[in-house]
Amino acid sequence: MCDLIIVAAMIDDEDLLRNAIISVNKHKFRKKFLLFDGPRDTLFQKDYDKYSKYKKDIKKEFGDDFVIIEHTDNIYYKPMLDNFITSNYDDLADNLLILQDDVIVDDFDLQVVIEQKKEVEDCKILYFREDRLRCEHWFNVIDETYDNLVKTHGWSERVWIISKEDIKEILEKLVGVRGGKGGKFIDVYYRNIMKRGSWKTLSEEDKEDHWKNWGTYEHKSIRHKHQLPHGKGRPHR
């Protein structure tokens, strides 16, 4: 079985989250969770009011289908996931589909993809990349001879499947490690290592040892669309 976790935050267009939910609505999940980050404390009152109304609207529309968790503090993506996994670990399904609130995911068969992931024993993170060319500073292909997956250095945390055991292990290994844009995100830790000048001089064996901490694979045919224009960030983040 698989649980759905959508990680959400302040955003200008409410329809982005709705579109994200609709894009995975056909799948049968054991449980669905929606995590709302808290607002920054440097906003105008109208911004707080707008965000409160947004969350109220979403709860009215999807509250019967999702367990909704709201944070009062602005803690960002990685801490939200970390807190949630730690607090709910025993109650979670073995597999987790995690996505951000501003993506649309291709149509796919969830159970088939979970089985494809299981066929590759060292796959921990199976991600669906964006529907545009890879950026080399984010992704390097290691092996694309698999039937359905591509082994890569680097990955995207916008849409990914992982077991609860593996995400717990990865998050624990990041405790005390500098990176991730101040610990706000997860995939940036991998990217930071790849950006170092020393990365190019590492042996393939050393690079493989680093990869084993993550077990990152990309799906060959499933993509996501990022609804925000390239280069445009979120408001008030």
237 falls within a domain: no
- Residue 135 in any domain: the answer is yes
202, two tokens: 């590492």
pLDDT in tens, the chain (237 residues): 999 999 999 988 889 999 999 999 999 999 999 999 999 887 789 989 999 999 999 999 999 999 999 999 999 999 999 999 999 999 999 999 999 999 999 999 999 999 999 999 999 999 999 987 666 657 889 999 999 999 999 999 999 999 999 999 999 999 988 887 888 999 999 998 898 888 989 999 999 999 999 999 999 999 999 998 654 555 444
Instruction: Look up the CATH number of the domain holding residue 75.
Output: 3.90.550
Dihedral sign for Cα 85, 90, 95, 101, please: negative
Token readout for 214 is 């993550």
Q: Is 11 among the domain residues?
A: yes
Q: What does the alpha-carbon distance between residue 230 and residue 111 come to, in Å, rounded to a whole number?
A: 31
Structural domain includes residue 88: yes
Is residue 195 situated within a structural domain?
yes
How remote is the C-alpha of 207 from its chain's centroid? Answer: 23
Domain extent at residue 126: 2-224
Per-residue model confidence (pLDDT) at position 133: 67
Tell the burial category of 27 from Cβ atoms under 10 Å away from its Cβ (0-12, 13-18, 19+): middle
In a domain, 232, yes or no: no
Instruction: Give the chain's domain count.
Output: 1
Give the residue among 196, 236, 2, 10 at the shortest CA–CA distance from 117: 2
Q: Which amino acid makes up residue 185?
A: F
| Residue 160: inside a domain | yes
Vertex 187: Cα angle to 150 and 43 (nearest 5): 145
